Amino acid sequence: MHRHFNGLKTALLFGAIFAVLLGMGSVIGGGRYLWLFALFGLVSTFYGYWNSDKLAIRAMRARPVSEAEAPGMYAIVRELSMRAGQPMPRLFVSPTQAPNAFATGRNPNHAAVCCTEGILRLLDERELRGVLGHELMHVYNRDILTSSVAAGLAGVITSVAQMLMFANIFSGSDEDRPNPIAMIAMSLLAPLAAGLIQMAISRTREYDADEDGAALTGDPLALASALRKLERGTASAPLAPEPQVVNAAHMMIANPFRAGDVSRLFSTHPPMADRIARLEGMAGRHLMG
């Protein structure tokens, strides 16, 4: 088990988002329509999961690169993939100058790792190795599935909340009609709760990828150094919060947006200072061991 119990935290957060969904079902006609929302959520989750690699790569306008074009990136990913006993993913480069990287794909056999031109210029080889180890662990930990399910559930809750604003859709006899106060409260609070839980799940997966990626490379301080540079680099060259980029932002190693564009509660990434401190603590434990 990880020192910071990230897997347990993720499970508890999923329990919380399911509780919100069940709470909505109990308000709406005693749960008679819940199966419709569950079906909608299943379809949207499957679509996002199955096409996760295409959606994220398209959002960043990335292109596949050959080993001749990116020999250093290929060498690092090949070495780490072999160390993990996993297949070599496809490699992409995004033309954006903002430094960032992400991994996507529904499983290790359909994975893609993408670096921006900005991150390839910013980091040295050791730091890039730390970043790529982090990204590969997102794939090996099935974080794309985790994030797709969380996004699907949050989407269902938001859609149901919007329907609740038109209560006549669910109205029947006076005896069957849901409590209007409960409906209004649920329509306002449920999407907020779902969004907060979805972001919290994303943050736990980032901590996990940091720890597991550092274990894969055997060099926690390399990732810590890279995160310091990325914090400064993304601040000086933030991406515009366009819808496609927003949808892909949770996959990136660093929050690509200006700090003021999103609050800490709604951020898909933990604070850099916390991540760096955990990695430095991990390095200290290795030295003591």
Read off the pLDDT of residues 225-268 as tens digits, 9 standing for 90 and up: 999 999 999 999 888 878 778 777 888 999 898 765 554 545 77
pLDDT tens-place string over residues 94-144? 999 999 999 988 789 989 999 999 999 999 999 999 999 999 999 998 887
Using a cut of 0.75, tell me whether the model's pTM lies above it: yes
- Residue 135 a catalytic site member: yes
Closest CA to 237 of 129, 117, 59, 57: 117
| pLDDT tier for residue 1 given thresholds of 50, 70 and 90 | very low
Domain assignment present for residue 65? The answer is: yes
Are 103 and 135 spatial neighbours (Cβ–Cβ below 8 Å)? yes
Residue 34 confidence (pLDDT):
59
Closest CA to 239 of 262, 258, 264: 258
Q: Which one of the listed residues 135, 206, 211, 231 is annotated catalytic?
A: 135
Range of the domain at 104: 6-288
Domain count, the chain: 1
92 token code pair: 């992409």
- Looking at per-residue pLDDT, the higher value among 276 and 43 belongs to 276
Domain assignment present for residue 1? The answer is: no
Question: Above 70 in pLDDT, residue 2?
Answer: no
pLDDT tens-place string over residues 146-179? 776 777 667 777 766 766 665 544 555 555 555 6
Domain assignment present for residue 116? The answer is: yes
Residue 265 confidence (pLDDT):
47
Over residues 34-50, mean pLDDT: 64
Cα(90)–Cα(111) distance, integer angstroms: 6
Highest mean pLDDT among 36-45, 79-88, 170-179: 79-88
User: What percentage of the chain exceeds 70 in pLDDT?
Assistant: 68
Domain assignment present for residue 70? The answer is: yes
Q: Could you tell me which residues come within 8 angstroms of residue 206 by beta carbon, excluding any fewer than 6 positions away?
A: 253, 268, 269, 270, 275
Question: Above 70 in pLDDT, residue 221?
Answer: yes
Residue 189 confidence (pLDDT):
72
Residue 248 confidence (pLDDT):
78
Residue 70 confidence (pLDDT):
96
| pLDDT tier for residue 69 given thresholds of 50, 70 and 90 | very high
Residue 223 confidence (pLDDT):
98
Over residues 43-58, mean pLDDT: 70
120 token code pair: 């390839």
Are 282 and 214 spatial neighbours (Cβ–Cβ below 8 Å)? yes
Domain assignment present for residue 227? The answer is: yes
Q: What is the CA radius of gyration of the chain?
A: 21
Domain assignment present for residue 184? The answer is: yes
| pLDDT tier for residue 285 given thresholds of 50, 70 and 90 | confident
Give the position of tokens 């109205």: 171
176 token code pair: 């069957």
